[in-house]
Chain A
């Protein structure tokens, strides 16, 4: 149970949910050092710049947070070191040494603004020590008239204990010139005893001295010496500066009529919630040379999920920003929904959830967003239509089949290969089915169908429910036998979305010996559908052993397994983003040596093969690499053709049913055009439909130079155009393209379609 589980992420349009989700991502929290420093100096940024040798910029970062940067640089006791992650790996970064180096080399006092604003309020500060000086600096910079009453004849108070051994006198004098430039008045030798009388002359008083104790603390215009917030113990000059700063801010709030306490929890020292990956951190001891010492800073950050996900990298944001973008995208009533593409290209694999110590599951956020978009009719029609049509094909007469084993009237189990194994490896499906029939004598039914997950991924609950009811109907017709899945995603969908008890094929096969006995070292890629399914992973491993495969054990490839880029219909929404997801995944799978990849989801295999990486599906290996195994990533057209052929052949061969052959159209298409068709989602069947329509109606254009015909057809929401030539034995296809816009001729009775 993670923090994420208690959040109703499905209500992503609620601001409360947004804030809860944002809080889970710590990517934008300050580094531990910055949070621990009461003045919140960005020591991480400072180290980065010093490490690059850019001392000027590093000092600018330092100076930004500190009222007297030179004084502090020489006297800081660096409380940040207490929280430095490096502390346990060789020792905290010596930030005090770095500060001092900056002051010695490039340090300059702060400058007063060229245009100093003036506010109509006066502040008296009793005591010219570090607290008084800091409050005076901050208030004067904000435009208040400030007067310091100092009992002695110098400013600095306790600093004199450090001058000149630790703090050179010249540095102290140079750094306090800022007060003069900010027009702060200083009265030396002035001991204030009657504070209420002082209030007659000014609007607020800060008692920055210890000589007036316990008096007037309840009086709202008088602010006591020390503030009470922040972590303890707190000692040193930096905390005195902070006291002055805090008290100055209190007076400012007072004058502006703002609540004195609300929203101040993170002033002063606190512990950051930023999560930093310490997994690969090695011990490194302090260095004498400052640049090298600065380089010891590990640059704390929490981007563990982004580093491993091609999708999260694609848009250059962290999950906190993604969550807000999703919220904003769903909230706008008018205008452009800029984040649509982003929402629709997450592969929904949950790698981020497995990596995040807070369990932030971005897939649930994106899925909730998609469902909301469909519900409010804001889902771009083109986003997932092609994928849903592919699912429709799997559920149509062309592929859908549910039958008892030939000669049986009941089934012990019902084999459900899934819609993509039938599309990628139809002959393997046939081989598995026949093998199962031999192993399970009580009868094995066959169920060719999709589990409906594509509808779920598209955010379309209605479409998913439709598929689900068709599947349930088929299953019930066969007497509800136990379903045996070959696909990890189908397996998970049946368990989670159908509430069904199903078994994985790997579980059945794990005890069996493979005919394939070629010893091979491989890296096992776990499918996202089995991310948390230890039992399935175990079965696959055992099966791999039975195939004589030596699997490299890597913990980072278990629950945190990278995504192949198939899931979530990412490749339908944008193939380029999906490609990047695959590439990032392959980088992680490579490790120290580039071993062939073993998968147990055919989509993973297909996507890896497409990228030119050797990868095998475990069932291909188990059943032996025969000629009939295709072992390539099929095109969208081939997927459909393979499913259709499988159904026809299996009906004919196993059930001895007479099946009509499909009308064959011989299309001649060169490789380049084939690649274009694949990328633009134009199927061979779309081309055939155009040609059939054109040949029948004779509605076509002709190029007088080469005789090519150009024709179109709009069977659904897309118009397809094809340039072709009738050749002996087929149709030579020269070009094809499509558009979604419809068209109609205006000034004629003859319509343009």
Chain B
């Protein structure tokens, strides 16, 4: 079970499969630490989408914390 789920609405479609994205299980990893999360991804081909707010918000925060450990 993922600790974090991205639950904002995502309008993007997968360019390859032409399908709306769904929340799927993804593992984020950095410096020997792994985090199971739920992120928007194509239900068919699995292309994951990481929104900017997440990349420059929570993810950046975790990156910095791990780097200073």
Measuring CB to CB, which residues of chain A are less than 8 angstroms from any residue of chain B?
Answer: 335-338, 340, 380-383, 698-705, 709-710, 712, 719, 721, 735, 737-748, 750-753
Contact = CB atoms under 8 A, between A and B. Distances in A.
Given A699-B16, A735-B52, A741 B68 contact: no
Contacts of A745: 24-26, 41, 46, 48
A752 B67 contact: no
Interface string B14-44: 1110000100111111110000100101000
Contact of B13 (A701, A735, A747): A701
A644 to B, nearest CB: 29
Residue of B45, B64, B65, B68 ringed by the most chain A CB atoms within 10 A:
B68
Contact of A741 (B25, B29, B45): B29
Contacts of A753: 48
Interface string B47-69: 11110100110011011110111
A746 B48 CA distance: 11
B7 to A, nearest CB: 17
Nearest to A703: B12
A316 B52 CA distance: 33
A460 to B, nearest CB: 16
B50 to A, nearest CB: 7
A742 B21 contact: no
Dominant secondary structure at the B interface: mixed
A699 B17 CA distance: 10
Given A704-B11, A739-B63, 18 more contacts: A336-B65, A338-B68, A340-B68, A699-B16, A699-B45, A702-B12, A703-B11, A705-B11, A739-B56, A741-B59, A741-B62, A742-B28, A743-B27, A743-B29, A745-B48, A746-B25, A746-B36, A747-B24
A753 B59 CA distance: 17
A744 B12 contact: no
B49 A701 contact: yes
11 contacts: A336-B68, A336-B69, A338-B68, A382-B67, A699-B15, A701-B21, A701-B49, A702-B13, A703-B11, A750-B46, A752-B41
Nearest to A329: B68
Given A381-B67, A382-B67, A701 B27 contact: no
Nearest to A339: B68
Range, interface on chain B: 35 or more
Contact of B46 (A719, A735, A748): A748
A738 B64 CA distance: 14
Residue from B15, B26, B36, B60 whose CB has the most chain A CB atoms within 10 Å: B15
B9 to A, nearest CB: 13
Contacts of A705: 11
Contacts of A381: 31, 67
A380 B11 contact: no
A698 B15 contact: yes
Contact of A743 (B48, B62, B69): B48
A744 B14 contact: no
B15 A752 contact: no
A710 B50 CA distance: 10
A373 to B, nearest CB: 11
Contact of A380 (B49, B52, B67): B67
Nearest to A746: B25
Contact of B50 (A340, A383, A712): A712
A752 B41 CA distance: 8
B39 A698 contact: no
Contact of B55 (A335, A739, A742): A739
A744 B27 contact: yes
Contact of B29 (A336, A709, A744, A751): A744
A384 to B, nearest CB: 12
Contacts of B14: 701-702
Contacts of A335: 69
Contacts of B36: 746
A669 to B, nearest CB: 16
Contact of A701 (B15, B39, B56): B15
